[in-house]
Chains A and B, each alone.
Chain A
Amino acid sequence: MLAYLQNIAVLFCINAILALTLNFIMGYAGIFSLAHAIFFGVGAYTAAYLALHVTDSLLICIAASAALSAVLSMVLALPALRVRGEYFVAASLGLQVIGVTIFSEWKSVTGGLGGMIGIPPPKLFGYTFGSQASYLTLAFVILLAVLGITALLVRGSFGRSLMAIRDSESAAQAYGKHVNAVKTLSVAVSAGLAGVAGTLYAFYMSFVNVEGFMLDMSILLMAMVIIGGTGTLFGPIVGAALLMALPAALTYLPFIPQSELGTIQQIIYGLAMVLLMMFRPGGLVGGRSKEKSA
Chain B
Amino acid sequence: MSQAAPHQVLLEIRNLNKNFGGLQAISDVSMDLPAGVITTLVGPNGAGKTTLFNMITGHLVPTSGTVHWLGQSLNGIEPWKIARMGIARTFQDLRLFSHMTVEENIMTVMERNSWLWQTGADAVRKRVDEILEETGLADKRTERAVDLAYAERKFLSLARIMASKAKLWLLDEPASGLDPRSFDRFVALLREYAAKGVTICIIEHNLDIVIQLSDRVAFLDQGKLLAQGSSDDILKDPHLAAIYFGERS
Question: Do A and B come into direct contact in the complex, CB within 8 Å?
Answer: yes
CB pair A174 B115 closer than 8 Å: no
Complex contact B89–A161 (CB within 8 A): no
Assess whether A176 is in contact with B100, with CB atoms less than 8 Å apart: no
Most A Cβ at <10 Å: residue of B95, B108, B118, B164? B108
| B116-A156 in contact (CB<8A) | yes
Residues of B within 8 A of A175 (CB): 83, 88, 108-109, 160, 164
CB–CB A289/B79 < 8 A: no
Interface size class of A (residues with CB under 8 A): 20 to 34
Q: Is A164 an interface residue (CB 8 A)?
A: yes
B84, B97, B113: the one contacting A171 at CB < 8 Å is B97
Interface string of A265-294 (1 = CB under 8 A from B): 000000000000000000000000111111
Once A167-B98, A168-B97, A176-B164 are accepted as A-B contacts, the answer to whether A157 and B83 lie under 8 Å apart by CB is: no
9 closest residue pairs by CB, A with B: A176-B83, A171-B95, A160-B108, A293-B98, A167-B97, A294-B98, A157-B111, A168-B95, A294-B96
Question: Cβ of A170 and Cβ of B91 under 8 Å apart?
Answer: yes
CA distance A240 to B79 in the complex (A): 40
Residues of B within 8 A of A177 (CB): 80, 114
- In the complex, besides A171-B97, A176-B164, A182-B114, 15 extra interface pairs with C-beta distance below 8 angstroms are A152-B116, A153-B116, A156-B116, A158-B116, A160-B108, A163-B99, A163-B104, A164-B105, A167-B97, A174-B91, A175-B83, A176-B112, A178-B114, A293-B98, A294-B145
Q: Complex Cα distance A38/B99, Å?
A: 31
Complex Cα spacing A243 to B98, Å: 30
Dominant SS among interface residues on chain B: loop
Question: Which among A153, A177, A179, A292 has the highest number of chain B CB atoms within 10 Å?
Answer: A177
**A231 part of interface (Cβ distance < 8 Å):** yes
Q: Which residues of A contact B (CB under 8 A)?
A: 152-153, 156-158, 160-161, 163-164, 166-168, 170-179, 182, 185, 231, 289-294
For the complex, what is the distance from the CA of A182 to the CA of B80, rounded to whole Å? 12
Cβ–Cβ < 8 Å partners of A166 in chain B: 99
- Residues on A with C-beta less than 8 A from B105 are 164
Residues of B within 8 Å of A178, CB to CB, are 80, 114
Question: Interface range on chain B: under 10, 10 to 19, 20 to 34, or 35 or more?
Answer: 35 or more
Measured CB to CB, the closest approach of chain A to B167, in angstroms, equals 13
Cβ contacts under 8 Å, A160 to chain B? 100, 104, 107-108, 111
Determine if B164 and A294 form an interchain contact, defined as CB atoms under 8 angstroms apart.
Answer: no
Given A173-B79, A176-B83, A294-B146: A164 in contact with B100 (beta carbons within 8 A)? yes
Select from chain B the residue with minimum beta-carbon distance to A158.
B114
Chain A residues within 8 Å of B96, by CB? 167-168, 171, 293-294
Q: Is B153 an interface position by the 8 A CB rule?
A: yes
B94 contacts the other chain (Cβ, under 8 Å)?
yes
A163 and B83 contact, CB distance less than 8 A? no
Residues 132-157 of B at the A interface (beta carbon under 8 Å): 145-146, 148, 153
In the complex, B66 has a CB within 8 A of chain A: no
B86 to chain A: closest residue by CB:
A176
Q: Which of B88, B118, B146 contacts A292 (CB 8 A)?
A: B146
B57 within 8 A of A: yes
- Report whether B114 and A231 are in contact in the complex, using a CB–CB cutoff of 8 Å: no
Most buried by A among B89, B94, B146, B148: B146
Query: CA separation between A56 and B167, bound complex, in Å?
Result: 57
**Chain A residue at minimum C-beta to C-beta distance from B152:** A294
